[in-house]
Structure 1
Amino acid sequence: MITSPCFIDSHFDRSATDRSKLAIFIEEYSELERKFSIFFLTLNFSDTSSVTKIVEHPITRCGEADPLRWCMGFFMDRLTNIRVPDLLSCCRGLLLLRVKCYPHLLLWNPSTRECKKVPNSPHLPYYHYMSISASALGYDFTLKTHKIVLICDNPLIDRHSYKFLVYNVKTNSWTPIYTDEDHKDLAYYLGTSKTLVNGAPHWLICYENPGDDTERYEIEYFDFATDEFVVIPQPDDPDFRVSFSSTLLDMEGRLCISHYSSGNVTVWVMEEYGVKESWSKTYFSNIYPVCFAKTINVALVRGFDQQVKASWFAFYNGKEKGIELKFLAGKSLANRAFTTFVESLISVETEKVEGVEVVRKTFLYISILFFSIHFFFLVM
């Protein structure tokens, strides 16, 4: 019963709409200790109560598992200028991981502790995960299955060029994707992708203009139904800026983009998905939003203490309440990354099992129909 698709979808929807919690994964990585840890934070908050509590749930401590990341495994922290690990890739309760010194991807559900090894793609010769420039875990609602998209450096070409691959969890197979020349040869996929509730991973993409030193930035998502990139319209507001220092965020399924400049952060929110005129903006001073809860007024934020040269994290609960709860104080936070997470009972093997079950039932129905027709003609 609890493995049925209807029950799993219902459980996920309830978890996603729970307004009393903000679930956060914290990745702890230490180059000195060669240690990778994930633990789960639940922030219990209320719009009316003045009390905010934080509950820490250790999940695993594993020296082998490593989040799949790109840009040589690191991005630059804009507050501290320290190289830190990139964020985890997650979608509908599953996380995409890799294993050090072991050329396989892993799908992991931290809620059920279930893990699945993803087979290597046969479409990429000399396959190595250091060649992955960008990656994302998403969901195809048409086929009702999780999918992985990889954007890899082409090892057979000396110049800058990418190969695109999509993995279907239900069929356990890889498919090469053929894109236009701009996406293959001129694009750079910046930072961390953000997979929204529509299952589509979004990227901030920088395009080189051939013949000069100029560049342009686009916000695009990968459509698993058509295997194509689609451009998200940007506002015409002269204050809207997109650059290498911009970051994509997710606020309960709404696409956000932040821009950091001189200690201030401008956050733009697309209130109605795909509608150019629906972008709105707000400002944060001396704090950097890491992830949002239900509204732009409820967020996990990061700051930097110049005196002790250390980052701090806090729960921000609107302009009236402001910084409510600082946590992880006194710990080394330079090598930590955060991403919001919604618990799910989905099995990494369920999709494959369900596909086999559909085939089995279809064969059974056809067999019954065949024997019924055969019996009818015998009687006649």
Structure 2
Amino acid sequence: MTRKNLPEDVIVEILLRLPVKPLLRFRCVSKHWRSLISDPHFAKSHFNRASGQTQRLLLHTPSGLGSLEVDAPFEDGSALRELVLPIKRQYRDVRIVGPCNGLVCVCLLHDPIEFYVWNPSTGDYRKLSDPGFSPNSDINAYMRGSGYDSSTDGYKLFVDPYTIPRPPIRVEAKVYSLKKNSWKSNPLIIGILVNGALHWIVDLDPGVFRIFAFDLAEEKFREVPPPMEENDDEGEDMIYFDTLSNLGGRLCVNVDRPDHIELWGMLEYGVKESWAPLFTVGYFTFLRTCDQLLTVGSPTPLCFSRGDQLVALGHGNGLRRSNSKNEIIEKTANGICPRGYEEAVFVEPLLSPNDYDFHGGQRFPVMKSD
């Protein structure tokens, strides 16, 4: 059967099942295929199908960038891909936050400060408008997170304008809307994106913890019920809520106990009774000594792999993969995950940062890295 006799919907269905890399090559087949694969609606449909597929870890080190397939053996060299930033800057001058739906926020720490949204899978990127930070805050600005607002089909970037000298209380942050191509001031937001909101832990008093959320659509704060109430001074061992994470679309929290960490997940968002323990990790599964526990804190869960295995960042000790019996299955080889890197989990998308915004009725020009 020739291509002319193949129905259009069948062609689309086949292409939607393919990974990003071959789709990028297939744009050269014909003008029709290029138009089809480059269409924002096709990209969104492709991402929605790919959301349950193979996850990758974005690795950022002072010496370079790469992505690692989560389910592949850590020692498999083919699972690690080298990435090249779209901007010709030294990596020590760069901060990376995200990804959110596969798009990464890049901050160039120089004067004046610059922000970009970048798709590491396709090379598409877009420079953001000037946030208007003062000269004293330019090189010390901190990106705090990015999120996708499904109600408006828009992305938002949150930046804390860290100034010198540092004020005693931080009360404001800059929020960038990719759809409006503009910045505005907002209360300081630092959090983990789950269910259209950014979440973070607030330590009110010793042993008293709360989880708060900032809704991206309504731009309002709310409290999320924790898995358990504060510590009982009369009996139970002291517990701490240490780290929030998004694992498989669920809000999760590390509950630190005297000799181990319990990873709890909210199975039904917003329902207190749905909190359940998902994993138990001994401190020394990821940390070698008591000194490390005191200085670097508990491990940071990144994602589940191969069904029921946990991949976590052991801080100074790199990545570890453990099973439900608290046994280390494997760890990163030397050089793949050195100390001091920033990590993020993503699925490779076709989405472009230029597809989510129209300015004066005209689509922003697509920029690609060399």
What's the TM-score once normalised by structure 2's chain length? 0.69
Contact between 2:61 and 2:91, CA under 8 Å: does it hold in 1?
A: no
Report SS of the residue matched to 2:118.
strand
Q: Quote the offset at 1:155 in angstroms.
A: 7.2
1:99-133 deviation per Cα after TM superposition (whole angstroms, max 9, x unaligned):
131411111110111221112224x5556245545
Give the corresponding residue for 1:193: 191
- Alpha-carbon shift at residue 335 of structure 1 (Å): 1.7
Task: Pick 1 or 2: higher relative contact order, CA cutoff 8 A, min separation 6.
Answer: 2
Call closer, same or farther: CA 1:115–1:205 in 2, change over 3 Å.
Answer: farther
Does the 8 Å contact 1:27/1:337 carry over to 2?
Answer: yes
Cα distance, 1:206 vs structure 2: 4.0
- RMSD of aligned alpha carbons: 3.6
1:3 and 1:346 in contact (8 A); partners too: no
Q: Which residue of 2 aligns with 1:165?
A: 174
Partner amino acid, structure 2, of 1:17: G
User: 1:15 and 1:227 mapped to 2: Cα distance?
Assistant: 28
> Of the candidates 223, 227, 237, which is equivalent to residue 215 of structure 2?
223
Question: Normalized per residue, which structure has more strand?
Answer: 1
Maintained 8 Å contact 1:64/1:99: no
Alignment of 1:276-287 (within 5 A): 276-281=272-277, 282-285=279-282, 286-287=284-285
Q: Greater CA deviation, 98-107 or 310-319?
A: 310-319
Say yes or no: does 1:2 pair with 2:37.
yes
Which amino acid letter does the alignment assign opposite residue 42 of structure 1? E
- Pairs within 5 Å for 1:299-378: 299-303=310-314, 311-319=317-325, 322-329=327-334, 333-353=338-358, 356=361
2:59 and 2:341 in contact (8 A); partners too: yes
Q: Is the CA contact (8 Å cut-off) linking 2:97 and 2:146 kept in structure 1?
A: no
Question: Aligned to 1:233, which of 222, 225, 228?
Answer: 225
Cα deviation, 1:114-172, whole Å, max 9, x if unaligned, reads 221112224x5556245545621111112111111223357799542322322111221
2:130 to 120, 123, 127: 120
Displacement, 1:325? 3.3
Cα distance in 1 for residues equivalent to 2:93 and 2:275: 32
Q: TM-score, normalised by structure 1?
A: 0.67
> How far, CA to CA, are the matches of 1:136 and 1:265 in structure 2?
25
* Contact 1:43–1:53 (Cα < 8 Å) also in 2: no
How far apart are 1:202 and its partner, in Å?
A: 2.1
Q: Paired residue for 2:60, among 27, 33, 47?
A: 27
Taking a change above 3 Å as real, the CA distance of residues 355 and 42 of structure 1, as seen in their structure-2 partners, is: farther
Measure how far apart 1:334 and its partner are.
1.7
- Counterpart-to-counterpart distance in 2, 1:67 and 1:222: 29
Residue type at the aligned position of 1:164: A
Q: Classify 1:157/1:276 alpha carbon distance in 2 versus 1 (closer, same or farther; 3 Å).
A: same
**In 2, Cα distance between the equivalents of 1:331 and 1:9?**
31
Give the AA of the match of 2:192: K
- Tell me which amino acid in the other structure corresponds to 2:262: T
Q: Distance in 2 between the 1:116 and 1:148 partners?
A: 13
- 2: CA distance, partners of 1:215 / 1:264: 17
The residue number in structure 2 matching 1:254 is 250
Q: Which has the larger radius of gyration?
A: 1
State the distance in 1 between where 2:136 and 2:37 align.
38
Report the CA distance between 1:274 and its aligned residue. Answer: 1.1
1:202 partner SS:
strand
1:136 to 145, 153, 161: 145
Contact 2:201 2:210 in 1 (8 A): yes
- SS state at 1:162 partner: coil
Assess if the C-alpha contact under 8 Å between 2:239 and 2:257 holds in 1. Answer: no
SS at structure 2 position matched to 1:258: strand
User: Shift in Å at residue 302 of structure 1?
Assistant: 4.4
| Residues in 1 aligned to 2:350 and 2:121: alpha-carbon distance in whole angstroms | 7
Task: Give the partner amino acid of 1:128.
Answer: S
Going from structure 1 to structure 2, the CA distance change for 1:280 and 1:345 (only over 3 Å counts) comes to same
Please give the secondary structure, in 1, of the residue aligned with 2:331: strand
Q: Does 1:106 align with 2:116?
A: yes
| Alignment correspondent of 1:64 | 90
Rounded Cα–Cα distance in structure 2 between residues aligned with 1:149 and 1:337: 17
**Judging changes above 3 Å, is the alpha-carbon distance between structure 1 residues 161 and 278 closer, same or farther for their aligned structure 2 residues?**
same
* In 1, Cα distance between equivalents of 2:352 and 2:107: 18
- Of residues 327-336 and 144-153 in structure 1, the stretch that sits farther from structure 2 once superposed is 327-336
Q: Any stretches of 5+ residues in structure 1 without a counterpart?
A: 30-34, 47-51, 70-86, 305-309, 359-380
CA contact 1:65–1:98 (8 Å) conserved in 2: no
CA contact (8 A) 1:15 1:344 kept: yes
Cα–Cα, structure 1 residues 331 and 158, in superposed 2: closer, same or farther, change >3 Å?
Answer: closer
Shift of 1:250: 1.2
> Which secondary structure state, in structure 2, belongs to the residue aligned with residue 204 of structure 1?
strand
Query: Structure 1 pair 252/295, CA: closer, same or farther in 2 (3 Å)?
Result: farther
Q: Does structure 2 retain, via aligned residues, the 8 Å contact 1:22–1:42?
A: yes
Select between 152-161 and 8-17 the one with higher mean Cα deviation.
152-161
Q: Find the aligned partners of 1:262 and 1:241 in 2 and give their Cα distance.
A: 7
- TM alignment of 1:37-76, pairs within 5 A: 37-44=64-71, 55-60=79-84, 63-65=89-91
Within 2, Cα distance between the matches of 1:298 and 1:127?
A: 45
User: Which residue does the alignment assign to 1:97?
Assistant: 106
The residue that corresponds to 2:49 in the other structure is 14
Q: Confirm or deny: 8 A CA contact 2:255 2:261 kept in the other structure.
A: yes
Matched, 1:205 2:202: yes
